[in-house]
Amino acid sequence: MTEILDRRLTPARPDLAARHLDGRVEALAFADPVPMRVVAPSAPLRREPRPDAALDTEALAGEAVRVYESHEGWAWVQLAGDSYVGYLPDEALAGDAAVPTHRVRALRTFVYPGPSIKMPPLADLSLGAMLAVTGESGDFFVTERGGHVFKPHLCTRDLHEPDFVGVAERFLEVPYLWGGKTSLGLDCSALVQLALAAAGRAVPRDSDMQEKGLGEPVAFDEGLADLQRGDLVFWKGHVGIMTDPETLLHATAFSMNVIREPLRPARDRILARNGGPITAIKRLG
């Protein structure tokens, strides 16, 4: 029997698959991965190799990727962090980028060509992006590529935020974007993934994966009592974070941004709009 594998996490097509899948999937050819890193501030990971294809997620600066094919400006890759598979623009990748030492802890920051905020920025980076720092110049860290970033906006990769909910709250009012993963726009599961990553916990990308793999179930009834800050509330295709026993924080297409609202009215509205009932509430250890 053919093994059923999640297409989102499996680098396999009818014509090409990852070498480690030989014997598990059928493909005309198998390829070894070429290690590369994202050097663009962020890069769209699309379902097909064209700019108008569906956006499944985004890769942030410094992320490691495994490239299985490069063709006509697109690289077919698997992200090393959460294993998502798709197509990234070739121009967003480099094979000679240094291993990052720091990550962006501010919601968004700028990369300057020199140690002055009056210089025109070279790029902007979102929370979670990573950089290789090679030196310092006054109030700035200097990156391997010569960029300058305000020191308080970065931290070493091993420094973890004590409160992932507080990280998520920084995204209040950020626009909703299906597949987005930056402070310019993100979706519900990206909000959870980014906030937990800042706290040192790697989690899957999509809400169904998060519901399956995170935390312990919390018993709940119609009253939705006894919830805690940090509990994750799941619907089919949606997830939110409790900021206190009664308040939900989530990126929602209803208002097209990240909002904080009472859980019970949100529950009733989602049900009325055919979003279905709450499927699980999970508490992280």
pLDDT digits (tens, 9 = 90+) for 225-263: 999 999 999 999 999 999 999 999 999 999 999 999 999
Q: Do residues 152 and 187 make contact, with C-beta atoms less than 8 angstroms apart? A: no
SS3 68: strand
Tokens of 162: 């004590």
Confidence check: pLDDT of 93 > 90: yes
For 178-207, give one letter per residue: b (16+ CB within 10 A) or e. Answer: ebbbbbebbbbbbbbbbbbbbbeeebbbbb
Q: How far is CA 97 from CA 102, 132, 135, in A?
A: 14, 8, 16
Of the two residues 285 and 206, the one the predictor is more confident about is 206
User: What global pTM score does this model have?
Assistant: 0.96
Confidence check: pLDDT of 64 > 60: yes
Output the pLDDT for position 285: 86
Of the two residues 285 and 197, the one the predictor is more confident about is 197
pLDDT confidence tier of residue 4, bands split at 50, 70 and 90: confident
Output the pLDDT for position 187: 98
- Residue 35's DSSP bridge partners are 66
Output the pLDDT for position 2: 53
How many CB atoms neighbour CB 240 within 10 A? 30
Confidence check: pLDDT of 1 > 80: no
Confidence check: pLDDT of 58 > 50: yes
